[in-house]
Amino acid sequence: MHFLDDSLLPETQQKLVIQAAPFAPEWLPGDADDIPVTMDEQVQAAVDCYNAGATVLHIHVRELDGHGSKRMSMFNEMMARLRQAVPDMVLQIGGSISFAPEDEGAEAKWLSHDSRHLLAEITPKPDQVTIAINTVQMNIVELMTADDLEGTSIAKPAMYKAYRDMIVEAGPDFYLEHLERLTANNIQPHFQLGNVSNLETVERLIRKGVYTGPLNLNYVAIGGGSAGRHPADLIEFIRRSPDGSVVTVESLMRSVAPMNAIGIALGAHVRVGNEDNLWRRKGERMTSVEQVEQMVRIADELGRDVAGGTEAKQIYKIGEYYGDTEETLTRLGMVPNRRPGERGVPLRDVSVPAAV
Cα(first)–Cα(last) distance of the chain, in Å? 16
DSSP letter string, 199-213: HHHHHHHHHTTS--S
> Degrees (nearest 5) of the Cα angle 150, 156, 160?
95
On whether the CB atoms of residues 217 and 177 are closer than 8 A, the answer is no
Distance of CA 278 to the CA centre of its chain: 18
Name the DSSP letter for residue 152.
Answer: S
On whether the CB atoms of residues 19 and 260 are closer than 8 A, the answer is no
pTM over 0.85: yes
On whether the CB atoms of residues 138 and 102 are closer than 8 A, the answer is no
On whether the CB atoms of residues 287 and 271 are closer than 8 A, the answer is no
Distance of CA 74 to the CA centre of its chain: 21
pLDDT digits (tens, 9 = 90+) for 243-271: 999 999 999 999 999 999 999 999 999 99
pLDDT over 90 at 106, yes or no: no
pLDDT over 70 at 145, yes or no: yes
d(CA 355, CA 100): 42
On whether the CB atoms of residues 85 and 40 are closer than 8 A, the answer is no
Q: What average pLDDT score do residues 62-70 get?
A: 90
pLDDT confidence of residue 111: 73
Q: DSSP E strands: which ranges in the chain? A: 18-20, 56-59, 90-93, 128-132, 136-137, 167-168, 188-193, 216-220, 246-250, 269-272, 279-281, 284-285
Q: What average pLDDT score do residues 147-161 get?
A: 94
d(CA 136, CA 170): 8
Residue 115: which pLDDT band, with cuts at 50, 70 and 90?
confident
pLDDT confidence of residue 67: 87
pLDDT over 80 at 56, yes or no: yes
pLDDT digits (tens, 9 = 90+) for 268-327: 999 999 999 999 999 999 999 999 999 999 999 999 999 999 999 999 999 999 999 999
115-119, 182-186, 222-226, range with the lowest pLDDT: 115-119
pLDDT digits (tens, 9 = 90+) for 171-184: 999 999 999 999 99
On whether the CB atoms of residues 79 and 124 are closer than 8 A, the answer is yes
pLDDT confidence of residue 356: 45
pLDDT confidence of residue 114: 85
**According to the per-residue pLDDT averaged within each range, which of 43-57, 152-166, 339-353 is highest?**
43-57
Residues whose CB is less than 8 angstroms from the CB of residue 294 and which lie 6 or more positions away in sequence, other chains included = 257, 272, 280, 286
Name the DSSP letter for residue 274.
Answer: T
Residue 198: which pLDDT band, with cuts at 50, 70 and 90?
very high
- Helix ranges, 126-216 (H): 146-149, 157-164, 172-184, 196-207
Q: C-alpha distances in angstroms, 279 versus 29, 84, 293? A: 16, 31, 14
